[in-house]
A and B are shown apart, each in its own frame.
Chain A
Amino acid sequence: MQKKYLIGKKAVVLLLIPALILISIFLIFPAIWVLKLGMTNETLTGIKAREPDFVGFENFLRIFSDRFFYNALRISLLFVFGSAIVGQAGLGMILALLTYRKSRRLRTTVQSIVILAWIIPEVVVAYLWIAFLDKDFGTLNVTLSWFGFEKVNWFYNHPILTIVLFNTWRGTAYSMLLFSAALETIPPSYLETADIIGTSAWRKFKDIVLPNIKSYIFTDLILITLWTFNVFTPYLLTGGGPAFKTELLPIYIYRNAFRYFKIGYGSAISTVVLLINLLLAIFYITLSRRKRT
């Protein structure tokens, strides 16, 4: 519908342009340029920094025979599955259900605590966990030792479990909030009808709650998969170690580009990550559009 008077054509262009310029240069352009960078052997230092050669798909082919890439991919998949799908979504659902139809105070308290873990700046969070998991003085080991457990070197002996636990702690808030909001959309009369019939708690969840919030769960799973796939924070905890055991794809990109200065190869891996993001994003947008209509 055209509203002639609120803004004229010239004003439309003038008002849109600053945002569009910034977005085009700093968001859209890098995503496209990365393809071209990935086809060069550009480095940050040395002769190839000044005059990089065009090498076509050489970098991309090399990815497929790079065992470090496969290592990073495997760890990323484990990380996404463990911390996002099992950890965040699972724990988020449990928390949402436990606070559903409970007193406002309980819910606010639980949510505030979980949200704190989500909003504290990542560098602080990393340090908190380094302290929390410290072998000799960390809160976790000291507490465990009170119960007679032996002290564990978490970072060294259970590296993947450590970053999975960490990221579950870090990101559960989003799923919890989304599921809580989803539960609120179920008309109370649905559950009250079930109460009158005398339905068990599990059947209420399976037959009434789950079908009604299915689309929210899909949305949540896609989004947290996308986000978790693009998390860099574990680098601040472990630096990718020990012995590349926590080297997620983003950390592998970082190592190639900024430790070995291999811009071309780093760009090629970036391209792969962006393509995976693209698939997830298209999946997400299609789903949310279908929900709207």
Chain B
Amino acid sequence: MKDPKRLSKIISYIILAPILAFFVAPILWLLVTPFSLRPSLFISISKPTLNNFIRVFQNKTAINAFKNSVIISVGVVLLVTICALFAAYVLSRHYFKGRDILLYILVLFSSIVTGVAAMVPIFMLNLRLGLIDKELGVILTIAGGMLPTSIFILKDFFDSIPRSFEEAALVDGSSPLQIMFKIFLPLSSKGIIVIAMLVFAQSWSNFLIPFILLRTHTKYPVSIAIYTFFTEVGVPDIGMISAYALLYTAPVIVMYFLVERKFGFSFYGGIKG
């Protein structure tokens, strides 16, 4: 039996293979090297060891940076999730004059003002506010940048929840607070959790904002710590850096795949930009 589809299948595999190899190769190194006895820049497989991870946990700078990253990310997550939840609820459930203009301004500024394009005024603003070299400055700056997108995603999510749930509760005799806590929040909890995870992943990964706003080594989050590890003078400790990088990357990947399982890829796209 001849299957005309088989040929096209084989052709597509032949094209796919080198492309996938291109994507896999750099990542493979990250997965293999931390467990290697003699780590090098080449992907070399040897008897697995946890030695590199042990050295990470013995490194005070590395551990301290983890703590700083957690402080910054948790701060951003709390701030963004709560503010975005409030704002998105109002924008989804209440029409007021100027709402569409407000949304337009938010879309416009959130897409043009990137941390990269505005790094100079962002730095100067933090300088004038006395927030240079303070975690608070990093938290507020990242939060301000991520808020509009988070609001849009949450608003879209809220818009997809039929109003009739709240209206039914209203007719059934609920007070506004009961509607909020017994009906609306349970219905939208999925969306809120997703936003919180995405915001966490993004602020956890952020490099530029702490890079320009922080000066003291003990305040560096992991992103800056890794950068100083591989740019500092002398022979870099490849084993430790790769183990550290893997530990740093793991939560992002875990959160991402949790979100993906719940909502598919589309959700991530919105906030990534």
Contacts and interface: CB of A to CB of B under 8 A. Distances in A.
Contacts of B106: 23
Interface stretch (A61-69, A185-193, A229-237): A229-237
Contact of B110 (A27, A125, A267): A27
Given A33-B124, A270-B120, A274-B118, A124 B265 contact: no
Contact of A231 (B19, B112, B116, B144): B116
B35 to A, nearest CB: 15
A217 interface: no
Interface residues of B, number: 93
A151 B24 CA distance: 21
Interface stretch (A77-85, A155-163, A207-215, A277-285): A277-285
Chain A's interface size range is 35 or more
A134 B20 CA distance: 20
Contacts of B160: none
A22 B119 contact: no
Question: Which label, helix, strand, loop or mixed, suits the secondary structure of the B interface?
Answer: helix
Interface in A126-171: 126-132, 134, 137-140, 142-143, 169
Contact of A27 (B82, B83, B113, B272): B113
24 contacts: A2-B95, A3-B93, A5-B170, A6-B179, A7-B94, A23-B144, A26-B125, A27-B145, A33-B124, A37-B120, A42-B124, A98-B15, A113-B23, A123-B224, A124-B30, A127-B230, A128-B30, A129-B26, A174-B272, A233-B207, A254-B119, A254-B212, A263-B120, A266-B120
Interface of B: 8, 12, 15-16, 19-20, 22-30, 33, 40-43, 79, 82-84, 86-87, 89-91, 93-96, 104-125, 140-141, 143-145, 147-148, 151, 163, 166, 170, 176, 179, 201, 204-205, 207-208, 212, 223-224, 226-227, 230, 238, 241, 245, 248-249, 252-253, 256, 265-266, 268-269, 272-273
